[in-house]
């Protein structure tokens, strides 16, 4: 700790302990001294040791996100490119016109949650443990929408308001959107729109990310069509998936976005498709999991695990049915 910081910390400790009462009241009132010191130094001291919505705690690392997407999000060249450009452009803008809204779609285990976590890890010093990072699960937080829809709407709006009031760079992850009532999603439309503020609170610097399995079948079919045509996976572009994905979600009663005003009013900035994972990607996931556990990655172990998973189509065994979702639990069996 620098000398100046030590002096500031000592003064703050004296203020908090009431030691300012020893100050000559004819020179400066003890209460005034304490209040003035607290007003000047409390944010400085507090935010050095406790998370605050300040640059030392909230600061986007573009090169870090690119590196993580390239090296950790396996087999997702389309999603990685969209996410990096979208987040980089948004976070570098000090005066965005609206919040960033992403909707990530793909089958189980393709990396939707993981991609969201990588974004958080490169925005918040505390990563996914940040108080400004919020995950809302449809089945956990909104399990009975038919009976409690109005209550859920109120609670959700209150959470958004309180969170963004605490930090304008808050991030909200809505998991299992395909299991959410479309009316609940539509209830937050105004928070995602082009408003300077709502009741005195600006949401323009917040990030909203929706995660859903909906659309996964059509994404997988596109990937399979490319494979059957002998085209490389890397040749698949966003144009091959994006427009048809948003349209299918809008017309799918089970998507969570059925006739949603979020789509109708173009409030979702990017629909991000995540491709089904192949055998080689499962191997990469297993190797990464071993490394994360502090073990020496073993190619043989990774390949044995990957071979035992279920793939589709059944005869060709091209894509993993569960992606990398079960790799961490199954790995124990192979070590």
Residues at the binding site for ATP are 106-113
**Residue among 97, 130, 131, 119 at smallest CA distance from 202:** 97
- Contact between 69 and 86 under an 8 Å Cβ cutoff? The reply is no
Tokens of 15: 């203020």
**Residue among 53, 41, 49, 44 at smallest CA distance from 16:** 41
First to last CA, the chain: 44
How far apart CA 40 and CA 56 sit, in angstroms, is 18
The number of CA neighbours under 13 Å toward the Cβ of 248 is 17
- Contact between 128 and 235 under an 8 Å Cβ cutoff? The reply is no
Binding residue numbers:
106-113
Q: Facing residues of 173 across strands?
A: 135, 209
Backbone angles phi, psi at 286, to 5 degrees: -65, -40
DSSP conformation class of 179: G
């Amino acid at each position: 700790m620098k000398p100046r910081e030590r002096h500031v910390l000592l003064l703050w400790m004296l203020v908090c302990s009431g030691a300012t009462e020893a100050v000559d009241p004819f020179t400066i009132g003890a209460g005034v001294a304490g209040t003035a010191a607290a007003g000047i130094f409390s944010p400085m001291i507090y935010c050095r040791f406790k998370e605050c919505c300040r640059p030392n705690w909230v600061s986007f690392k573009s090169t870090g996100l690119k590196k993580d997407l390239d090296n950790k999000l396996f087999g997702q060249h389309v999603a990685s490119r969209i996410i990096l450009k979208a987040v980089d452009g948004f976070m570098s803008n000090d005066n965005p016109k609206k919040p960033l809204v992403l909707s990530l779609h793909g089958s189980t285990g393709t990396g939707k949650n993981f991609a969201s976590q990588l974004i958080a890890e490169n925005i918040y010093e505390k990563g996914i443990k940040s108080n400004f990072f919020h995950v809302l699960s449809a089945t956990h937080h909104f399990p009975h929408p038919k009976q409690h829809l109005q209550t859920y709407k109120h609670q959700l709006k209150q959470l958004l308001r309180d969170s963004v009031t605490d930090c304008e760079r808050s991030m909200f992850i809505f998991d299992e959107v395909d299991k959410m009532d479309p009316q609940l999603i539509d209830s937050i439309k105004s928070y995602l729109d082009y408003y300077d503020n709502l009741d005195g609170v600006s949401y323009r610097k917040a990030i909203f990310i929706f995660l859903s399995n909906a659309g996964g079948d059509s994404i997988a079919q596109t990937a399979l069509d490319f494979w059957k045509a002998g085209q490389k996976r890397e040749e698949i572009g966003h144009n091959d998936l994006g427009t048809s994905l948003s349209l299918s979600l809008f017309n799918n009663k089970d998507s969570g976005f059925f006739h949603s005003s979020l789509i109708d009013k173009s409030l979702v900035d990017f629909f991000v498709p995540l491709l089904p994972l192949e055998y080689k990607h499962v191997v990469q996931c297993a190797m990464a999991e071993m490394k994360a556990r502090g073990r020496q990655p073993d190619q043989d172990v990774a390949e044995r695990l990957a071979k035992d998973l279920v793939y589709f189509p059944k005869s060709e065994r091209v894509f993993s049915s569960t992606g990398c979702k079960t790799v961490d639990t199954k790995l124990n069996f192979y070590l």
